[in-house]
């Protein structure tokens, strides 16, 4: 018996569809990571500003308390929900 292997190339439609699907999945993962970073805690620019404002404190505990106070004071007021 003489068996020949036949490796058929997928059509261009399947290639384009799979590349599109992979791109959509990658963009979805990227969007989810960005959304998680934005929703957790204060944005990095506010943290950096708080660090600069509290840089004169010698002890870490004093610096952390100063940063927490600075971040709380810089947050905009929220409107009560109904």
Q: Which tens digit of pLDDT belongs to each residue from 3-19?
A: 676 666 778 888 999 99
Q: Which tens digit of pLDDT belongs to each residue from 24-77?
A: 999 999 999 988 877 766 677 888 889 999 999 889 999 999 999 998 888 766
Residue 54: name the closest of 74, 76, 69 by CA. 69
Counted domains in the chain = 2
Same domain? 29 vs 54? no
Domain that holds residue 65: 42-77
| Confidence (pTM) | 0.45
Is 2 inside a domain boundary?
no
Residue 47 to residue 37: CA distance in whole angstroms: 13
Same domain? 72 vs 51? yes
């Amino acid at each position: 018996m003489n068996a020949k292997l036949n490796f058929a190339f997928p059509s261009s439609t399947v290639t384009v569809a799979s590349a599109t699907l992979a791109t959509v999945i990658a963009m979805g993962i990227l969007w989810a990571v960005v959304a998680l970073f934005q929703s957790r805690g204060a944005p990095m620019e506010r943290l950096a500003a708080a660090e600069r404002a509290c840089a004169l404190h010698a002890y870490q505990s004093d610096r952390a308390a100063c940063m927490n106070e600075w971040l709380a004071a810089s947050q905009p007021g929220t409107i009560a929900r109904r």
